[in-house]
Amino acid sequence: MLNAVLAGFVLAFAAPQVARHLPRQAGTIAALLPAGIFVWLLNQAEMALGPGVVERWPWSPLPGVTLSFHLDGLSLLMALIISGVGALILIYAGAYMQGQAQAGRLYALLLAFMASMLGLVLADNLIALFIFWELTSITSFLLIGWHYQEERSRAAALQALIVTGGGGLALLAGLVLIGLVSGTWEIAGLAAQAGTLQDSGLYLPILLLLWLGAASKSAQFPFHFWLPGAMVAPTPVSAYLHSATMVKAGVYLLARLSPALGGTQEWSLLFMVTGLVTLLLGGWLSLKQDDMKRMLAYSTVSSLGLLVTLLGLGTKLAAEAAALYLLAHALFKGALFMVAGAIDHASGTRDLRRLRGLAGALPTGALAAGLAGLSMAGIPLLAGFAAKEFIYEAALFSGGSVWLLTLLLLAGNVAFVVVAQQMTLRIFSGASLRFEHFHAPGVGLWAGPLVLGALGLALGLLPEVTATLAGAAARAIYGAPVTIHLFVLPDSVTPMLLLSALTIVAGILLYRRRTKLEPWLNWLDQGARLGPENAFRRLVGGLPRFAERVTDMQQNGRLRSYVMWVVGAWLLLLALTWLLRGGPGVPSDLLARLADLRFHELVLVVVILAGLASVMQANTLLTLIVSLGVVGFGTAIVFILFGAPDLAMTQFSIETLGVILFVLVLYRLPGMVRLSPRRTVLRDSVVTGLAGAVVTLMILVITDVPLVSPLKTWFADASEPLGHGHNVVNVILVDFRGFDTMGEITVLGIAAIGIFALLKLRPGRGGESKAGDGEGRT
Amino acid sequence: MEVALAIVIGALYAAGLYMMLRRSMVKLIAGLVLLGYASNLLIFVVSRLTRASPPLVPEGAHSVAEPFADPVPQALILTAIVIGFGLQAFALVLVRRAFQAVNSDDLDQVTASDRPDLQA
Amino acid sequence: MLPILIPFLMAILSIINWGNRVLHRFLALAGSVGLLFAALALLTTVSEQGILSSNTGDWPAPFGIVLVADLPGAIMVLMAAIVGLAVLVYSTASLDEARERFGYYPLILILLMGMCGAFLTGDLFNLYVWFEIMLIASFALLALGGSRAQLEGSVKYFALNLLVSAFFLTGIGFLYGMTGSLNMAALAQALRAAGPEQPVTTVAIFFMIAFGIKAAMFPLYFWLPASYHTPPVAVSAIFAGLLTKVGVYAMIRMFTLLFVQDTAWTHGLLLVGAALTMLSGVLGAVARREIRRILSFNIISHIGYIVLGLALYRPLALAGAWLYLIHHVIVMATLFLVSGIVQRVGGSFRLARLGGLYQRHPGLALLFLLPALALSGVPPLSGFWPKLVLLQAMLQDGLWLLAAIALLVSLLTLFSMMRIWVGAFWSQAPAGVVTPAPMASVERRMLYGPVLALLALTIAISVFSGPAFELTQRAAEQLLNPQQYIVAVLGESP
Amino acid sequence: MTSIILVVATRLIFPLMLMFSLFLLLRGHDAPGGGFVGGLMAASAFALFAFATSVTRARDALRRSTFRLIGVGLLFAFISGLPGLFAGSPFLTAMWTSAEVPVIGKLSSVLLFDTGVLLVVVGVTLTIVFAMAEADEEEEE
């Protein structure tokens, strides 16, 4: 299975090359891979339906990470859809993109997406699943933004990425929690841990995180809005990612985890409510759309809601219904999308109001759409019919508020019937319209929808095959053996059959009177569609502005404010530490220690302090430099007094040199003005005064205890015998710690280079202007 | 003396930071110079003061006789002084060039590289 | 030893032969290739033989200056070597002649040497010296060229970084005053034995501030976004990839080796700091509309992740942090280099003036997209793995809010990076933008080559996250068991 | 601007200062002094020379580019560390010859190191002073 997944990624890189050399056949060639995978899957079917196929690759010692795959009924069903529809889509894309320069990139992205999606449904490891999950988000992002020249596309792509990406991160947290709580990272092993998981205090957080992930990916309310937005993508993409496969990922995840996490009240409540709201909202909003693709998108949202509802319900019947519907939906919705794309391709419009009577011009299209539409409406003999029967059955035997549930499901299903009619009767029947540039699409555009439509019929006529396939999937969802009994036509009148009939009749009536619904729908539209979407837009639009305000406030360009932050943070941390963890203690005998001060030392101290005061008051350069000099020389004298002649010498010479430099460099600068208002001065004085006091206190505390320095005596003893020198300081500098000195002279050397360059290399001088302006050079 | 010097060092710190909080570039440098003095003196004082002789081995002897000043902080400070000098020299020239580029000593005018909105 | 000496020698030779551009180039490349080999050799040796120590001047350990190579240090040396080489190759094609003549190459070499020194030294004061070497070299590089933006950025850079020096020296003074030691291993012993009358935690705060500024943590990072976008891209890249990491490295060293007396408190503070750093950094990234500014802020937010790993203070988290460090060094350098190419072919760094690069340069688009996604932590790229590890560590500790912040930051990073993608690659270039002249093939090779190499490395880490993680796990073990370090330096004594 | 007195005084002082600088270097190991202070002294000599005459003439008197001084100084320091390395000891291990040279004392790698320090200090100081003086001249133009 790893090979199948990897092949997709690898061939994705080859696709643009193929497209360059064989532009006409590239799509079909690319389709060979998914077709091959499809065949291989069929080959594996027997094993998959039985014990399942497991593949494990040791990959990484990171906790929880392995690369393991598991092919069971559910993943087989999904993988068949992914590869089968994938092959048809690539052929379709080949025709759709005919003659377009960047077609190769599209094939590449589609293949990469297919591989990610396959990985997602085959993965048996929580982290591996997440990896593929995110990959589908990324490829989807690139595909939605296909028409990147248009602002609309870019916005939609970003929107989809943020919504699904954000959900994905929540999901990651959820998955990690599952792994940590259950102690197992393999999905197959999770069901055995269901008790541990559900009794854990973290169950609810896990569920909510999962909900965020699944609902955002599968376009559930309130995250549904990204999906209709994603319709800016080319139609092959919409048909593949945004109806048949990627949007099912959330549903798949719930199905996959329901044996481990499902079956509780919280689970049912959360997902049934979400699902039902989405079902109704999507369904009814689909009635309002004039754009074929948007209508189908809303209808897809609705179908996903239906699936989530069923998974939330969690009964055996619901699992069966979900599996059946999953299959049927992929077939008819994929077909309808492709039909919509083909019509768009042929006529240049997707506007339902401008399309009528196409049956004459596009008989094949009418056939494909008809098959798919019938399945969607749930007409007997087609796959959709059986699915609908099971949905109603699941509702009727759900226990709890049966009638409410049934009624809501009915309301949702009616909308499907209306959409099915829009996609068939409305556009194909009636007098034909004339289009200016009408050109009938070729076989490449019809093969896909036709095959999918026909499959819908075939599955309806071959109940055993459908039952086996869906039954195995249902078993994985339900977590216990399941056998589905299917039939071509019901042999007795059941409540479910009546409900089906009712749905169809209501749908037809509603279709005829759909204009009457307008005001209702508008209300719904404004409340629900614009609500969350607007909130999102405001959030995403407002975020940069908010961020800008916050950032500009901090990063205001004023150095003194930065310094203040540093000093403030430092004092705050110290204050907190001392308050909460105990201070450094109070030094003892301060007076006694002060008493040993001699007179000349006192004078020195006073001179230094006076110099400091003068520095702070200075408002001409000369005063400043002279006062600094006083402080510096004062320091040097301290060094002399306390046994450090070397230091004093260096300090004196550096000080002298420093003063010279100061004068040399700065004498051209104007005098300083007092810029700060009194309040700032006061504030700064208090803050810096505190800082100074802290340092003083620390020195006193530390010097309170005698120091036994092993270094001092060792150096004193070693200097002459080992270092051959009498001046211990110098021996330390050039020998014991010569490495430091080497660093020190390096600093000096580099400083010289830097100064030299600063003074000599200037923008706008001679041929050096390239280095100029803020944009700089690469 | 330790106590007195501790106060001096505290004052040096306070003054250094205070000068860094001014708007003038020249004062900024002065602040940095003061902080340099402060940290050097701090190392000196914190490793205990002694009025005793410098750490020189007398001619003919093999070791320094107690009491003597700790040579280690002296060596550190020497290194730090020299490094500090290099950095200060660079900073001085930088300030001069910045002054030429901005045409003002006022640090509040030196904001263009932080705030894109203030950039022309 | 060699990782320090090789760049040093080459830099010396360059300075002696001042003004010889071609020779400078040659020496720099030779130096960085040599450095790379030395670093590889060092890492293999350390990995096989355990912690190495070398006493300079042959003076016994706590008296002379000792160099210590353990896994964390050796890994970082290798990172420095890799990024150094990539940047130098890139420089040969992207730098203007004037900068090359004014000592660009020796400066880079000294910068690399300073980093290696900082990664390997086992002496606190010596660490200060290396910091100053890096500092002065980076000043000079930052200001080299002398444009107004550069000068302005440099003013802030030096003011705040000299503040670091003062804090650092003060801290060293305090530690010497308390213990009479400068050797880090000896200090570690002394501080562990320190009585309650010693204000160790207070001193720790001094170091936290000093390295917090260096590492660009909130609220101490303001110098970074003020300056990193001003010098030539090659310089930005090496700064972005490595320089702040030295601060983080030092922070991790200090708070695993020396200051572990009161981890509940100090590391708690770091935890809060990390969270704030992540948030405010990523907000800055979302706010800006210029590629290098966005990247600069993203450095900050991701520094938060690394400090987070330290603050959690357990093997899993530290291993994650180290993996993050490796990943971030490479990816950030790549992104800056890519931004340089973007500017080269698109004419600007500002999103408003860029566009259409997806169509015109699909290859470049991929070169941006991959590291951008890696930075955002999109699986299975290199950024995902450490994030996963850190997430596990946070959730194990029950730090829900923190985990939520980390994930949010991840999402916002993605958002900020995709704004670059949308603005520079997807959208159409505004009217009136002049397309720069096409590149000669040599230039192309020199610009794309390093990017490709770094990208290949990213992908290698992505695919072989296992071995990389194992390595960082061992590094984390060494960090959390300082006894090994102490024994390696001081011998088996008490 | 250049006064005669200054020129004459410089002529006299210049060699003296250089000698003193050498003296500081050599005695540094045993008494206060050393390469750093010595270097500053020598640099002052050249700086004085430059003020008394002109930067160009001072550069001529130096005969080497200031960068070369820095580089060679660093190289000295670097080389002084090598013998130890070849002898199997770590970098910077001090080596002493037993030969006693008049005035200088024992030859050693440590002395070489300190000489390196001196050269760097001279080079650095003069680079800065010269560059500054030249920049001033240019700006005045």
The answer to whether A564 and A687 are in contact (CB under 8 A) is yes
Instruction: Of A237, A227, A434, A416, give the one whose Cα is nearest residue A340.
Output: A237
| Summary mean pLDDT of chain D | 74
Residue B97, burial from CB neighbour count under 10 angstroms (0-12, 13-18, 19+): buried
Any idea where the domains of chain D sit in the sequence? 4-140
Instruction: Of A121, A122, A130, give the one whose Cα is nearest residue A168.
Output: A130
β-bridge mates for residue A186, sequence order? A125
| The two structure tokens encoding residue C383 | 């950024």
To the nearest whole Å, the CA of A162 is away from the closest chain B CA by 26
Q: What is the pLDDT of residue A270?
A: 92
CB contact under 8 A, D90 and C1: yes
Using CA atoms, how far residue C4 sits from A146, A530, C23, C137, C355, in Å, is 50, 62, 21, 15, 43
Residue C111: CB atoms within 10 Å:
29
- Residue B39 CA to residue A626 CA, distance in Å, equals 21
User: Hey, which residues 54-113 in chain D have their CB within 8 Å of chain A?
Assistant: 66-67, 70-71, 73-74, 77-78, 81, 91-92, 94, 96, 106, 108, 110, 113
Using CA atoms, how far residue D3 sits from A665, D10, D59, in Å, is 23, 11, 20
To the nearest whole Å, the CA of A719 is away from the closest chain D CA by 10
* Three-state helix/strand/coil letters over A338-393: HHHHHHHHHHCCCEHHHCCCCCCCCHHHHHHHHHHHHHHHCCCCCHHHHHHHHHHH
Confidence band, pLDDT 50/70/90 cuts, at residue D9: confident
Dihedral class, residue C223 (left if φ above 0, else alpha if ψ from -120 to 50, else beta)? alpha
The answer to whether A778 and C343 are in contact (CB under 8 A) is yes
Helix (H, G, I), strand (E, B) or coil at D62: helix
CB contact under 8 A, A692 and B14: yes
User: Hey, which residues 122-141 in chain D have their CB within 8 Å of chain A?
Assistant: 123-125, 127-129, 131-136
CB contact under 8 A, D91 and C18: no
Residue with the two structure tokens 């190392």: B43
Q: Which residues contact C133 (CB under 8 A, 6 or more apart)?
A: A743, A746, A747, A750, C110, C113, C114, C117
Eight-state DSSP code of residue A315: -
**pLDDT by 10s per residue, chain B, length 120:** 778 888 899 999 999 999 888 888 888 888 999 999 999 999 998 888 777 677 777 777 777 777 778 888 888 998 999 899 889 888 888 888 888 777 777 777 777 666 655 443
Cα A226 vs. chain centroid, distance in angstroms? Answer: 14
CATH number of B2-50+68-118: 1.10.287
CB contact under 8 A, B38 and A693: no
- Residue C52 CA to residue C416 CA, distance in Å, equals 42
Q: Is the torsion defined by CA of C52, C54, C60, C65 positive or negative?
A: negative
Q: Which regions of chain A are under pLDDT 70?
A: 433-437, 525-530, 588, 668-675, 763-778
The answer to whether A357 and A429 are in contact (CB under 8 A) is yes
Task: Choose from B81, B93, B94, B97 for mutation: most chain D CBs within 10 A.
Answer: B93
**pLDDT by 10s per residue, chain C, length 494:** 667 777 777 777 766 666 677 788 888 888 888 888 888 888 988 888 888 888 877 777 788 888 888 899 999 999 999 999 999 888 888 877 778 778 888 888 889 989 998 999 989 999 999 999 999 999 888 888 778 888 888 888 888 899 999 999 999 999 998 888 888 888 888 888 877 667 888 889 999 999 999 888 888 888 888 888 888 888 889 998 888 899 999 999 999 988 888 888 888 889 999 999 999 888 888 888 888 888 999 999 999 999 999 998 888 899 999 999 999 999 999 999 999 888 888 878 888 788 778 888 888 888 899 999 999 888 888 888 889 889 989 988 888 999 999 999 999 999 999 988 888 888 887 777 667 777 777 888 888 888 888 888 888 888 888 888 888 888 888 888 888 888 888 876 54
To the nearest whole Å, the CA of C493 is away from the closest chain B CA by 24
Residue B61: CB atoms within 10 Å:
11
- Helix residue ranges, H only, C17-103: 21-49, 71-94, 97-101
Residues of A in contact with D108 (CB under 8 A): 724
β-bridge mates for residue D108, sequence order? D96
CB contact under 8 A, C132 and B38: no
In this complex, is the C-beta atom of C56 within 8 Å of any C-beta atom belonging to chain D? yes
Report chain A's terminal Cα–Cα distance, integer Å: 45
Q: What is the pLDDT of residue A46?
A: 81
Cα-based torsion angle of the residue sequence A94, A96, A99, A103 in order, rounded to the nearest 10 degrees: -60
Instruction: Of B80, C396, B92, B119, give the one whose Cα is nearest residue A741.
Output: B80
Q: What is the pLDDT of residue C380?
A: 83
Helix (H, G, I), strand (E, B) or coil at D99: strand
Q: What is the largest CA-CA distance in chain D?
A: 58
Residue with the two structure tokens 């959690």: C312
CB contact under 8 A, A131 and C379: yes
Chain pair A-B, CB pairs under 8 angstroms: 305
CB contact under 8 A, C56 and D91: yes
Residue with the two structure tokens 């200097």: A719
CB contact under 8 A, D128 and A646: no
CB contact under 8 A, D36 and B56: no
Residue of B nearest to C169 (CA): B39
Residue of A nearest to D135 (CA): A759
| The two structure tokens encoding residue C259 | 């200051």
To the nearest whole Å, the CA of B43 is away from the closest chain D CA by 20
Cα A617 vs. chain centroid, distance in angstroms? Answer: 56
HSE, CB side, 13 Å, CA atoms: give it for residue A521: 15
Q: Which chains touch C (3 or more CB pairs under 8 A)?
A: A, B, D
User: Hey, which residues 179-218 in chain A have their CB within 8 Å of chain C?
Assistant: 179-180, 205
Eight-state DSSP code of residue A224: T
| The two structure tokens encoding residue D126 | 């003069």
Out of A734, A739, A751, the one facing D114 most closely (by C-beta) is: A734
What pairing do the DSSP bridges indicate for beta strands D96-101 and D105-108? antiparallel
Q: Which residues contact A84 (CB under 8 A, 6 or more apart)?
A: A34, A38
Task: Choose from A603, A672, A724 for mutation: most chain B CBs within 10 A.
Answer: A672
* Helices and strands, counts by H and E, chain C: 22, 2
Residue D6: CB atoms within 10 Å:
15
In this complex, is the C-beta atom of A751 within 8 Å of any C-beta atom belonging to chain D? yes
Q: Which residues contact C259 (CB under 8 A, 6 or more apart)?
A: C191, C200, C201, C203, C204, C207, C266
H or E element at residue D105: strand D105-108
- Residue A39 CA to residue A490 CA, distance in Å, equals 32
Chain pair B-C, CB pairs under 8 angstroms: 112
Q: What is the pLDDT of residue A43?
A: 86
CB contact under 8 A, B110 and C155: yes
CB contact under 8 A, B36 and C166: yes
Task: Choose from D69, D93, D119, D138 for mutation: most chain C CBs within 10 A.
Answer: D93
The answer to whether D78 and C12 are in contact (CB under 8 A) is yes
Q: What is the pLDDT of residue B115?
A: 62
Out of C5, C15, C56, the one facing D71 most closely (by C-beta) is: C15
Any idea where the domains of chain C sit in the sequence? 2-490
